[in-house]
Amino acid sequence: MSYKTNKNFVVYRSSAGSGKTFTLVKEFIKLLLTAHSADYFRHILAITFTNKASAEMKERILNALREFAAENGQGEKNTHLLKQIEEETGLPEKIIKEKSRTILKAILHQYSDFSISTIDKFTHRVVRAFARDLHLPVNFEVYLDKDDILEQAVDLLIEQIGENEYITQTLTEFAISRMEEEKSWSPRISVLEFVKTILFNENNESKVETLKKADFEKFKMLNEHLKRVTENFEHFISSRAKIALSKIQEKGLNFSCYAGGESKGLPKYFTYIVEGRSENYFPTDTVCTMVSKQILYATKANKEEQEVIKEITPELIRLFNEINGHVTQNYSTYYIANSAQKHLYALSLIGYVEKYINELQSENNLLLLAHFNKLINDVVISEPVPFIYERMGEHYHHIMIDEFQDTSVLQWQNLLPLVENSLAGGYFNMLVGDAKQSIYRWRGGVSEQFTELPQIYPPDSPELILEKEATLQRNYQEKKLSSNYRSCCEIIDFNNQFFSLIAQSSEDIQSLYKEVEQTFNPKNTGGYVQINLFPQKTSLAEEDYFLKLNEILKELLVDGYSYKEIAVITSTNKEGVSVADYLTSIKINVISPDSLLVFSSLAVKWVIATLKLLSTPYDITSRVVFIKSYLDYMNMPEKLTAMALTTKKAKLPIKKFIKEITKDEIEVEEITSLSLPEQCEYIIKHFLKIENHDAYLLCFVDAVNDFSKRSGNDIPAFIDWWNDSAERISVKIPENTNAVTLLTVHKSKGLEFPVVIYFYANKRERRQKEFFWAENVLKNDITFPYLLVKGNKALEDTDLADEYKLEATQSKRDLVNEMYVAFTRPVNRLYILCNRIPESKKSSNTEGGSFSVNKFISNFLLKKELFNNEQNQYTFGKKEKFKQNDKKEKDKNKNEQIIQQELEFVQSANWQQKISISRQAPNEWNVLDYFDARTYGILIHRLLQEADSASSIQKVENAENISPEIFKKIIELALLLWEKSEIEKYLSSGYTARSEAAILSHSRLYIPDKVLQKENIVVLIDFKTGEKQEKHITQVKEYMALYKQMGYSVDKGLLVYKNETIELAS
C-alpha cells in the first residue's frame, strides 16, 4: 500500500501555464518512489482527455526517471522536479536514483500495464474486457464517426416514405413545419439536423428513453391535445379582443384618440391579440399604466371624444384584465404546447432512427464510441458495486484525472466507483482542472462538476451516485496552482487586468474569475501585447485584416522569429480556411496541430470533379465544376472565361467533352467498369498524369479505400459522404515543420507558442442549447413527462425562464473562457485583431445586451481610460528580439529537410500488373481446413486468455454466430488445454493469473498467454493449437529470460498442446 494520507482526495485548482502537467508527473513519480515494489505503476490509473496529453505525460515520466537514474545528473526542469520530490517524500537523492533505475526497467518490460490513457481509451478497454457481460459481440469494431452512421440510419428512414404510413405522414408534417419556420424542407436534412442535436447528447438520454416507449397512437393523441391547448388559449383571448375592438369601432373614433396613439395604445394591443402575434401577448408597461390609471384617452382628444372613450372605458378595462389575467396564468403552458407541436413529428421518429443505428451496428459488428459511456453508466447507477469494476477496483489503487473541467456527467459517474473504492482503501487520488478553460460544453463538458466539488453535480443524480458524495467530502483537500511559468510577466499582467475587470463588472463571471490573477517572476520580462482595431463593419471579404497579418509576420521575421514560432488563432474553422488561403497565396506554409486539410489540394478537387462528371456526365453543374477544377489544377484560372461552357460543349458526348477541355483522351467505359478506388487511381495516373502521389493524394486514396470497404463503390454515395466529411480528413504532418501554425481556439487549448495572433477576434456569444425540455406540462401524463421546446427569448415568460437565463449565463462564460484560452497561449507576444464597437454599444458596464470578444476588448480600453477614437493600435509591454538556441535550431532545420525529402512523394504501383487472380481458387482451397487452422487458434486463445476457471469456459455464449458443431469443438479443445495446463491447481495454492501481460524489450513486445504469480514467483504458460514446433520452445524460453531480468523467480514455463504439455525448467 503506497502513499496514504488523511485527506487523500486532492483537487488541484489550476490556471493557464501554472504547471498542471508538472504536478501530475510529480505526484505520479512520488507514488512510484514511495511504493514497495518496482511494478507499482500497475496500480495507478491516469486519465487525460487527448492522445497528445497522454503521450506527453508518459514521455515526461519516463524522461524524468531516465534522468534521475543517470549517473551524470538531469536537465534543469528535472533538477527542480527532483528537489521537490526529495522535500515532499523525505527520500535522499541516492535512493531516488536507485529506485528510478528499477522502476524504469519494470515499466519498459511491462509497458502495457503503464496505464496513462485518454478517457475514451479507458472506457473502450472496460467495454472490451466485459463485452460478454454487457451482451456485446467480443470482436466488435469501435466506430468513431457517429455522423456517418447517423446519416445511414436517416437514409434508411427516408427509404420508408411510401412504405410506412406513419413515417410518411410524420415526415410530411415535419417538412411543412420546417417550411413555416423558413428552414430547409428536405426531410433528410431536416431530420438529420434535428436528430444530431438530440440523440447523441448525453443530457437528453433519459428523456429520449422515456419518449421512445410511446407508439404512433400516443404521439397522435398528444398532438391533438397540444393543438386543443393552443386553440383554447388563442380563442379565449382573441374572442375578448374582438369584442373590445368591436366596442371601439362602434364609437367611430380613430386609434389616435386613445392614449398611446395608433401604435402604443390599448386598441393596438387588442389588434395584436386578434392577429395572433404571440410576441405581443404581454402588454407593454405603457398600456398597463393607462389601465391602472383608468385614463384611456389621449390628451389631444377633444372633450367630446374623451367622453365617448370614458363611456366604454370600464368595459375595455374588464376585457383587458380578462385577457391579461389569462395570459399571465396560462401563457407558459400555451407557449410550450405550441412550440412542442412543431418538433413532435421529428421527436416521434427518434426511436426509428435509433433502431436503424442499432441494426447497422449489429450487421457490421460495430459499436459507436459515443455509446460506451452509456453502456457502463447503465451498470454503475443500478448496482452498489458494479461487477465491471470488481476486478478493476482491486487492480487500481490510485486514480488521477487531468482536465477535469471537461469531464461529462456520465464520465464522472462512471469513474466514481473506482475513486470511492480507492478512497475506502486509504489511497491517494487527485483531480486537476481549471474552470476558466472550460470550453467544451458543446461536447458534454460540465465545469460545475469541478467548481462544486466535493459535492456531486448535478444534485439530482441517481441515488447510488449521490451516496458517494460523503466519501468525497470526508477525504477532500483543495490545493491551488496560481503561478504562471509560461508567459512573460507583461502578458500575465495584461491578462490579470483584463479578466479581473470583466469579473468585477459581471456577476455572471465573478464565481469563475474571482481569483484569476496569477503571480509571476518579475525578472521574466520581454512580453508584448498589441491590440489592433479595424473599422466596425470590416469583414473577411475585405483585405484589411490580411494586410495587417502580413505586416505582423514580416515584423516578426525581422525580430528573429521563424514561422514555426507563430500561431494564428481563429474562432471558427471558416475563418481559419480564409487565413490558410491567404497565407498560401503569398507562399507562406501553414499547418495545424494535427493536419492539412485534404480537400484543399487542387489535385484532389480535380479527382472529385472528375468522379462527379463520370457519375452525372450531362449535368451542367458537373461540367462547369470540372472545367474550373481543371484550370485551377493547371494554374490557368485566367482562361476560365475563354473556356466557358457553351451550349455546344454542354451537349458533347462525355468522351469528346473531356478531350475538348483537356486535350486528352480517356476510356470512359474502361473507367466506369472499375471499382471506386481503381477509378481514382486511374484518374490520378492516366488523367492527372501523376505517378508519385503527394501526401494529400495518399490520404485521399486511403479515405476512398476506407469508404469502399465500408459502404461499397457507389460514386454518388461517395460524393455525398465526401461533401459531408471532407473537412475532417487531413494529412498528418511533423510538428517541427517551419510553417505558421493555424488553429481554432478549441484546438489551441493545452498548447503554447512564442507568438500568438488572435485573428478576427469578433466572435459573439452563441447559445449552444438549441432545445429545452419542459417537464410535467401535461399533469399526470406518465407517457409524456417531457416536451421539447425550441429556445428563444419567449421562454423568459414561461416556466423555463430560469433554465433559459442559465443558458444565457453559460453562453457568456463560454465566450469569456474562449478569450482566456486564446490570451494565455503566448510566451512572448500576443497580437489581437478585432473590429471597433459602434458608439451606441460602447459601455463601461458589460452587463446586459449581447456580448462579443471585441466588445469586451473595447470596454477594457474604456475602463483603463486608454480608448481614443483616432487611435487604432494599443500596446502593452515592449518588443524584444527573439533568441534561438543555435544548436537546437540547426538540428531542427536538419530534421525538417529529412522530413521534407521523406514526404515529397510516394510511388504508387498498379497491383493488377503484379497480381494474377486464379479462378480455380475454390477448387484448390480447403475452406474448412483454413477455418480450423486459423480461426480455431484465434478463438481458443481468446477463450483461454479471458477464462478464470473451467466453468467460465463452459458458460461462454456463441456470440460469434459460429455453427454449433464448430463452436462445440472450440469449447472442447479449450477445456482440454485448460485441464492440461493445471492452472486451477496453481490458483488454489495462492497464485493469481494475468492474461497477455506485455513486456517491452528492445522495441519489441513479448506477450505470454498466462502469467501465474505468487509474490515474486511466476509460472509462464503459452497455449498452442497447432503442431509442435521448435520456435514455440524458444519463445517460452525468451519469456522466462525476460522475467528473470526483471527480478522475478521463474518456477517453470509450460507449453501446452492438445496432445501434450512441455515443461521447461527454470
The rounded distance, in Å, linking the Cα atoms of 29 and 361 is 42
β-pair type (992-995, 826-835): unpaired
Find out whether 856 and 819 touch, Cβ atoms under 8 Å. Answer: yes
Has domain 9-136+368-480 been given CATH number 3.40.50.300? Answer: yes
Calculate ∠ Cα 21-503-500, nearest 5°: 65
The rounded distance, in Å, linking the Cα atoms of 222 and 787 is 10
Is the per-residue pLDDT at 932 higher than 70? no
Three cell numbers at 717?
A: 454515395
Is the per-residue pLDDT at 134 higher than 70? yes
Query: Considering Cα of 305, then 306, then 308, then 312, what sign does the dihedral take?
Result: positive
Cα 339 to Cα 169, 771, 998: the distances in Å are: 19, 10, 57
The rounded distance, in Å, linking the Cα atoms of 150 and 141 is 17
927-1065 adopts what CATH topology?
Lambda Exonuclease; Chain A (3.90.320)
Is the per-residue pLDDT at 185 higher than 70? no
Closest CA to 738 of 897, 549, 559: 897
* Tens digit of each residue's pLDDT (9 = 90 or more) over 965-1006: 777 888 888 888 888 888 888 888 888 887 756 776 665 667
Is the per-residue pLDDT at 886 higher than 80? no
Three cell numbers at 1002?
A: 528492445
Judge whether 9-136+368-480 and 927-1065 match in fold.
Answer: no
Is the per-residue pLDDT at 748 higher than 70? yes
Residues 6+ apart with CB under 8 A from 349: 157, 167, 170, 171, 174, 191, 195
* Tens digit of each residue's pLDDT (9 = 90 or more) over 471-528: 999 999 999 999 999 999 999 999 999 999 999 887 878 888 888 999 999 999 999 9
Calculate ∠ Cα 56-57-62, nearest 5°: 100
Using left for φ > 0, alpha for ψ between -120 and 50, and beta otherwise, residue 448 falls in alpha
Is the per-residue pLDDT at 931 higher than 60? no
Q: Which residue would you say has higher pLDDT here, 482 or 344?
A: 482
Note the pLDDT of residue 1003.
Answer: 53
Calculate ∠ Cα 150-154-160, nearest 5°: 155
Helix (H) or strand (E) holding 328: helix 303-348
502 CB-contact burial (10 Å; exposed 0-12 / middle 13-18 / buried 19+):
buried
Average pLDDT of span 269-285: 93
Average pLDDT of span 356-370: 83
User: H/E/C letters for each residue in 551-572?
Assistant: HHHHHHHHCCCCHHHEEEEECC
Is the per-residue pLDDT at 58 higher than 90? yes
Is the per-residue pLDDT at 75 higher than 80? no
pLDDT band at 839 (very low <50, low <70, confident <90, very high): low
Query: Considering Cα of 161, then 165, then 167, then 171, what sign does the dihedral take?
Result: positive
401 CB-contact burial (10 Å; exposed 0-12 / middle 13-18 / buried 19+):
buried
Q: Which residue would you say has higher pLDDT here, 611 or 209?
A: 611
Least confident of 49-53, 362-366, 777-781, 867-871: 777-781
Closest CA to 798 of 779, 773, 761, 830: 773
SS3 of residue 300 by DSSP: coil
Is the per-residue pLDDT at 906 higher than 50? no
Is the per-residue pLDDT at 783 higher than 80? no
pLDDT band at 928 (very low <50, low <70, confident <90, very high): very low
Place of cell 477445456: 975
Average pLDDT of span 130-140: 75
Note the pLDDT of residue 243.
Answer: 95
Find out whether 452 and 436 touch, Cβ atoms under 8 Å. Answer: no
The rounded radius of gyration (Å) of the Cα atoms in the chain is 35
- Residue 236, CB half-sphere, CA atoms under 13 Å: how many? 18
Tell me, what amino acid is at 947?
A: A
User: What is the average pLDDT score of the chain?
Assistant: 83
Average pLDDT of span 560-574: 93
Cα 100 to Cα 93, 104, 107, 371, 826: the distances in Å are: 10, 6, 10, 40, 34
489-593+738-877 adopts what CATH topology?
Rossmann fold (3.40.50)
The rounded distance, in Å, linking the Cα atoms of 610 and 613 is 5
Residue 839: how many other CB atoms lie within 10 Å? 8
Is the per-residue pLDDT at 846 higher than 50? no
Least confident of 78-87, 255-264, 329-338, 926-935: 926-935
The rounded distance, in Å, linking the Cα atoms of 220 and 348 is 10
pLDDT band at 274 (very low <50, low <70, confident <90, very high): very high
Domain range summary for the chain, segments of one domain joined by + = 9-136+368-480, 174-364, 489-593+738-877, 597-732, 927-1065
Note the pLDDT of residue 596.
Answer: 65
pTM value is: 0.76
Average pLDDT of span 192-209: 80
Three cell numbers at 475?
A: 477525504
Q: Burial letters for 893-924: b for 16+ Cβ neighbours within 10 Å, e otherwise? A: eeebeeeeeebeeeebeeeeeeeeeeeeeeee
pLDDT band at 222 (very low <50, low <70, confident <90, very high): confident
Place of cell 386543443: 228
Note the pLDDT of residue 904.
Answer: 44
Residue 408: how many other CB atoms lie within 10 Å? 20
* Tens digit of each residue's pLDDT (9 = 90 or more) over 814-838: 999 999 999 999 999 999 999 998 7
Note the pLDDT of residue 85.
Answer: 94
* Tens digit of each residue's pLDDT (9 = 90 or more) over 387-426: 666 655 568 899 999 999 999 898 998 899 889 989 988 9
